[in-house]
Amino acid sequence: MTDADDTTVASTSKSTKRTRLRSLYHSRKARQFRANSLNIVGLVIVLAIIASALFAPFLTPYDPTEQNLENRLESPSLEHPMGTDQLGRDILTRLVYGAQISLRIGVIVVAISLGIGTVVGVTAGYAGGYVDEALMRFVDILLAFPGLLLALVIAGILGPSLTNIMIALAVVGWTRYARVIRGSVLSVKEQEYIKASQLMGVSRVRIILRHILPNVIGPVVVLATIDMAGVILGTAGLSFLGLGAQPPTPEWGTMISEGRNYLQDAWWVVNFPGMAIMLAVLGFNLLGDGLRDVLDPRDTDAVQNKGL
Amino acid sequence: MTYDTSNKARRTVLKTVGAAGLVGMAGCLGGDDSNESGNGNGNGNGNGDDNPEDRDRSEQERVPHATIAINDDPTRDDWNHYGGVIPYWTNILEPLVWVSNEMELVPWLASDWEQTGELTWEFSLREGVQFHNGEEVTADEVIFSFETILDEWVWAPGWLHIESGNIVALDEYTVEFTTTDPFPTFPGTIAHNLVAIQHPDRDHTEDRVIGTGPFQLEEIEQHQEVRTSAFEDYWNDEPILEELTFRVIEDPNTRTLSLENREIDVALAPPRSRIASIESDDSLYLDRQNRPGAGYAGINIHKSPTDDVALRQALNHAISQETTVDTILEGVGDPGRGPISPIIYWSAHDEITDYEKDDDRAADLVSESDYDGESLEILVANDLVDGREMAQVIQGSLDGIGVNSDIQVLERSAFSEAERDGEAHLILQERGSNSGDADYIIYEGFHSEGDLNQRLYEEEGTGLHNLGGEVDDLIEQGFQTGDEDEKATAYKEAQQHIVDQAVTIPLYYSEFIAAAHENIDGAELGAIPQFSRWTDLEHWE
């Protein structure tokens, strides 16, 4: 191959990519998403949090765990835009590093929940009968416990650490996915195209992977986005109670917990982490709402697509 | 009155820092200053210009009641055998022996006592002391009170070294105790609020607590408050107030807020983070009292790499006690030098030399030692006040001399297990005494068969903070002698070894604080805070 060929290939693929992006941008769903400014706000917040997490070391000159007892509880200034905490650490720095932790936990927990939920939901929905009954009653039992309380018990038994928080939240979190997916699978598996595939002798695994999963994943994406907010809030809550991050990890909930004694004299120590949690939760909720508007199967054209 | 000036200086500086904060300046200078000026204060009862004794009360009138907020619920069910109220704090029930603020034993319901044999003790009761129901205190009630405790708590016989049936009345006002083994610290051990003398007619179902104290129970509102009134026939100085209410407010911030809103008049143990604002508030003042306790990081001397004395000494050189007390502890407590508070007479505080903060020396010691980059585990209980912050300060200091560490904050029972299993290298703790006998602090912490070391010592022949050999002998010698000088000599030598071998990283000597409204006079905090007395409490309006 010559260099010229390479360039041609590259530019072609680049232009197709660009075309695809452009068509995505102009697609009906994208326009629908953009039409609501709240959706954009959500997207911007989420992107900002992701960016600050990714580029944390470049955003601030300080180390998140470096103490400076002489400058403790300093109010916000040019040097420390969000002030310093009880050990003289820069709060802004801890917040951006904290974003890494919150996002990492959010993504991992949602991924695990989604994984377990999908497997259970699809199995129950597609297999039906006793399998369905058994799995769904188990889900019902888990759902009967108040979510955060069950997570609290699990994290309490396992001992305080971020890994254990992830386990606790994932154990509690997957049930909703299983339910939603099972519901969708039940309706999708009655479709003619599934029947047709079965008649053609397509294997069960292939039917599930090729024909069912792609058609049930829409509502789950929405759920996952909104769930990110829930997981971030849950992590902060459990850490606030001392079951999560061990000091000096700059986890948002831990920062609030450690700073709450200074609430009256140094408002910045708890209010900034509190605002960070609020913004993150708000961002993911807005984004999730926007996605739901676009992807909801009850939406008219979605209904048409699925032939209901 | 040296304390006053340093207190004032610090308050001024803290105000400056606050002001700098308000105008949004960096405030570096303020921070530096507060670091210097904080040294050495936090002693005694002095409170500078807020001192209530200096106030002019001529324009004011006495109010006959007051409310004290306490952190510890005195109405829990555990106290049913005392009629429903814990003998701590409320001055309703009193023990035979009292403890002064110098940690000396004071004859209380017992006017005198002596050791009459190797195992026998004779206590003479004060005559004419009345219970709240009007009956006189005699040997029978004393025996009843002790038998009740021995029956109620399985650990009581081991703690008091007496068993049921070993307490007899020699006459109406003389009681003889026979200990299970030679126990020279018996009088000090029973100088404890929990060994209170009560009348057999007490009944928790009717909120009937019958003690001998200056205040008698009026009403219990479970988990809310205990209302008391002055007992007119009290054998000692009668209280000034007519009514005194103890309100349970467990959260320290809420206690302080309630005080600021004047819902209460005295708040015990306000949070350290609020001290600056309490001191800058003209209508409030802070009372301080040294306690027979100390905060330190106990080093596991049987676990690699902290089994190396050079490394342990390095850790000691890495920590600045002054900075810790001035910053994290907000000046509450004094910088520690050893594991035993200097208000206990056998503390070796004055004899032992301090490991000065010296990062270079520490780094040299680290390179001399076998330390090879391992991460040290710092264990903290979640209910240790400001424990997380102290752990992080230690971690930061160790980082400065190239020693890595991880912090593990555990809930109290998990902490105790992990501690005794020797899972950590550094264990943050505050140990003190609640009775006139402080011997158990050194025994339980540093003797091979003491509470902390026993498990590993018996299972593996190791332990945690026990140097063994000579130190065990010295502790036993001090524990078994009734002679104060001999005890002091033995214990001081043991502490010398403990400090030389760097078994602990001393942090601070404990101090008890209470915040009160300026209209309140005469709170007498005890060295053992539960021994605080409220008879001289006055409320003006």
Domains in chain B (CATH in brackets) are 76-204 (3.40.190.10), 292-511 (3.10.105.10)
Average pLDDT over residues B441-445: 92
Q: What is the pLDDT of residue B12?
A: 38
pLDDT higher than 80, residue B493: yes
Tell whether A129 lies on the interface with B, counting CB pairs under 8 A.
no
CA A84 to CA A71: how far, in whole Å? Answer: 7
User: How do residues A64-78 score in pLDDT, each as one tens digit?
Assistant: 988 888 888 888 998
Which amino acid type is present at position A227? D
User: Does B35 contact A at CB distance below 8 Å?
Assistant: yes
| pLDDT for the residue numbered B260 | 92
Confidence of residue B228 (pLDDT cuts 50, 70, 90): very high
Structural domain contains residue A165? yes
pLDDT higher at B41 or B222: B222
Residue A23 maps to a domain: no
**A124 lies in a domain?**
yes
pLDDT band of B436, cuts 50, 70, 90: confident
Residues B408, A246: C-beta atoms closer than 8 Å: yes
Measure in Å the smallest separation between the Cα of A72 and chain B Cα atoms: 7
Interface test with B, best of A94, A238, A243, A261 (most B CBs within 10 A): A261
Query: A255 contacts in B (CB within 8 Å)?
Result: none
Contact residues, chain B, for A75 at CB < 8 Å: 20-22, 24, 27
Under DSSP, is residue B68 helix (H, G, I), strand (E, B) or coil? strand
What does A203-246 look like in DSSP terms, one character per residue? -HHHIIIIIIHHHHHHHHHHHHHHHHHHHHHHHHHHHHTTSSPP
Q: What is the mean pLDDT of residues B280-298?
A: 93
Residue B409 to residue A246, Cβ atoms within 8 A: yes
Phi and psi based region of residue B273 (left: phi greater than 0; alpha: psi -120 to 50; beta: remaining): alpha
The answer to whether residue A17 is domain-embedded is: no
For residue A7, tell me if it sits in a domain. Answer: no
Q: Calculate how close chain B gets to A275, using CA atoms only, in Å.
A: 20
The type of residue at B75 is: T
- Using 50, 70 and 90 to split pLDDT, how confident is the model at B462? very high
- Closest residue of chain B to A70, computed from CA coordinates: B31
Neighbours of A165 (CB within 10 A): 27
Check CB contact under 8 Å for A160 and B31. Answer: no
Q: Which residues of B touch A264 (CB under 8 A)?
A: 253, 274, 277
Higher-pLDDT residue of A305 and B262 is B262
Tell whether A299 is covered by a domain: yes
Question: Is residue A143 one of the residues assigned to a domain?
Answer: yes
Q: What is the CATH number for A227?
A: 1.10.3720.10
* Mutation site for A-interface testing, chosen from B256, B388, B395 by largest number of A Cβ within 10 Å: B388
Across the range B58-74, mean pLDDT stands at 90
Give B286: exposed, middle or buried? Use CB within 10 Å, 0-12, 13-18, 19+. buried
Contact at CB, A242 and B411, closer than 8 angstroms? yes
What's the confidence (pLDDT) of residue B54? 66
Predicted confidence (pLDDT) at residue B477 exceeds the cutoff of 60: yes
Q: 3-class SS at B162?
A: strand
Q: In this structure, is residue A243 part of a structural domain?
A: yes
Chain B hits for A242, Cβ within 8 Å: 382, 409, 411
pLDDT tens readout for residues B1-58: 333 333 434 333 333 333 333 333 333 333 333 333 333 333 444 444 455 556 778 8
Residue the block writes with tokens 């994208």: A30
Task: Confirm or reject contact between B411 and chain A (CB < 8 A).
Answer: yes
**A203: closest CA of chain B, how far (Å):** 51
- Burial per residue of A278-290, b for 16 or more beta-carbon CB atoms within 10 angstroms, e otherwise: eebbbbbbbbbbb
DSSP helix/strand/coil, B51 = coil
Chain A closest-CA separation from residue B219 CA (Å): 33
- Range scoring the smallest mean pLDDT among A11-25, A256-270, B228-242, B324-338: A11-25
Domain assignment of residue A212, given as a range: 102-308
Contact yes or no for B391 and A86 at CB 8 A = no
Distance (Å) from the C-alpha of residue A61 to the closest C-alpha of chain B? 16
A90 CB within 8 Å of a chain B CB: no
pLDDT of residue B120: 94
- Give the pLDDT confidence of B372-427 residue by residue, as tens digits: 989 999 999 988 888 999 999 999 999 999 999 999 999 888 999 999 999 999 99
Residue B252 has a CB neighbour count (10 Å cut-off) of: 20
Q: Which of the pair, B194 or A10, is modelled with greater confidence?
A: B194
Q: In this complex, is the C-beta atom of A79 within 8 Å of any C-beta atom belonging to chain B?
A: yes
Q: If DSSP codes are grouped into helix, strand and coil, which group holds residue A125?
A: helix
Please answer yes or no on whether B323 and A69 come within 8 Å at the CB atom.
Answer: yes
Eight-state DSSP code of residue B127: T
- Whether the CB of B18 is below 8 Å from some CB of chain A: the reply is yes
Would you say residue B323 has pLDDT above 60?
A: yes
Cβ of residue A157 closer than 8 Å to a chain B Cβ: no
Look-up of token digits 């849950």:
A234
Q: How far is C-alpha B19 from the geometric centre of its chain's CA atoms?
A: 35
Cα(B9)–Cα(A246) distance, integer angstroms: 36
Contact B24 A75 (CB under 8 A): yes
- Yes or no, beta carbons of A75 and B382 under 8 Å apart: no
Domain count for chain A, please give it. Answer: 1
Which chain B positions have a beta carbon within 8 Å of A66's beta carbon? 396
Segments in chain A below pLDDT 50 = 1-4, 300-308
Of the two residues A297 and B173, the one the predictor is more confident about is B173
Model confidence at B434: pLDDT above 50: yes
